[in-house]
Structure formats: structure tokens, C-alpha cells
Amino acid sequence: MLEQNINKNTVPVISRKDREYTVEINQIPIHWDLNKGVMTFYGIDSALFWIDPSISNMLVPIVEELGKDLFRLLVAHSSSIGTEEDYHAMISSLSNNFEEGFLAWGQGVSSAGWGCFELEDYKPSEKIAIVINKNSWEISVQRNISPEKRWGAPFLQGKLIGIFSHAFGIPCWANDICHFDSENPYTKKLYKN
């Protein structure tokens, strides 16, 4: 079925070799090798999952077992690991300044369902940034969960804590406000030291 959908050329095929396909979306190469059953996103092994029920059903019992606070801290910490590489790509290969590089990075990861990123405010001298993230997988995965069981957006919180810590040159923290509205879901995060 995947091969049939790919063959419909719903997205431009950059290259095709036997049962291998590569497309580029927002300057990110995505490659499928159907002979091996693997996919890469930006050259990194990747996988696609349905947000609801697959990811939701995987995360809900972990949140219930650990509790929201511990779950959020663990996820935020683990997603902040490796952000130095993201930051350096933002200021070198994606752009020569952080703001443009951050938005270019945001466009790239939006191709993987991370949502659309806006940098509402960025004051590096004051070590403050406000990021709005619309339609992320993290908000979508909780859309059908009762409000008292929702845990927010700790993956993106941690990823961006790491990135802004590198941008500011000091450790920072972020508080997130999540809006689960079905028409316009978004998260607003304030980063500061």
C-alpha cells in the first residue's frame, strides 16, 4: 500500500532507484528503502506512527505510572540532549544568524509533524524568547485525552530549552502554556534564564 501511494506522486520524487524513493520537503531529504523496510529523515533512521491511537496509547500509561511532573522532567531532559548540533546548524548551514536559522530549522522539522514555529519575541541581550508552536504532534496526541490527564509539551519544551541555552550562552528554562482547541491548537513557551 505504501508503494502504491508513493507511486501516485503526491509529492515530487527527487530520485527513484528500484524500490528506493527520496523526496525533499522544506530542504529536508526523506528517503525510503522499501527493500529494507527503512526510512530516513535528514539521514537519520526514522519511523512514522499514527498520533492517535499509536503514540497516545504508548504515552498515556507511562504518564499515569510516573505522574505528570516526573514524566515532563524526564522527557524535557532527554529531548534537550543533542541540541548543540541543532544550534550549530541553525547558525551555520541554515543561516548566519540565530533568528533566521531557528525559523529555517522549524520549517524543516515541521515536515516531520512538529508543527509550525513562530518566534514571537527574541531578546538575546535580556536572555528572553517567546516561541509559539502550532499544530505539534505533542498537542495532537493529547487532543482526545481528558483535560485532567494531559501533560503538556515537554518534548518540544526540552528541545527548545537546549537550543535557547546554547543561543543565550547560559542555561535557561521554559514554561509552556498549551491550548488544545481543535481548530487552532498551539503551545506558547517563554524561555528565560
Contacts of 137 (CB under 8 A, 6+ apart): 51, 55, 113, 114, 115
Taking alpha carbons only, the member of 84, 61, 62, 58 closest to residue 73 is 62
pLDDT confidence of residue 42 = 87
Instruction: Give the residues across from 174 on adjacent strands.
Output: 191
Segment 61-92, tens digit of pLDDT? 999 999 999 999 999 999 999 999 999 999 99
Where is pLDDT greater, at 17 or 61? 61
Q: Which three cell numbers stand for residue 7?
A: 507511486
Q: Are 128 and 86 in contact (CB under 8 A)?
A: no
Q: What is the pLDDT of residues 165-189, one digit of tens each?
A: 999 999 999 989 999 988 889 999 8
Strand, coil or helix: 95: coil
Question: What's the chain's length in residues?
Answer: 193
Q: Is the pLDDT of residue 14 over 70?
A: no
pLDDT at 1 over 60: no
User: What are the helix (H) ranges across the chain?
Assistant: 2-7, 56-66, 68-80, 83-91, 98-110, 137-140, 154-168
Question: How high is the pLDDT of residue 76?
Answer: 97
d(CA 85, CA 66) in angstroms, rounded, equals 30
Give burial (CB, 10 Å; 0-12/13-18/19+) of 136. buried
At residue 192 the predicted structure's pLDDT band, cuts being 50, 70 and 90, is confident
pLDDT tens digits, 140-153: 999 999 999 999 99
pLDDT(130) > 90: yes
- pTM (two decimals): 0.85
Which domains does the chain carry?
2-46 (no CATH), 51-192 (3.30.1380)
pLDDT value at residue 3: 45
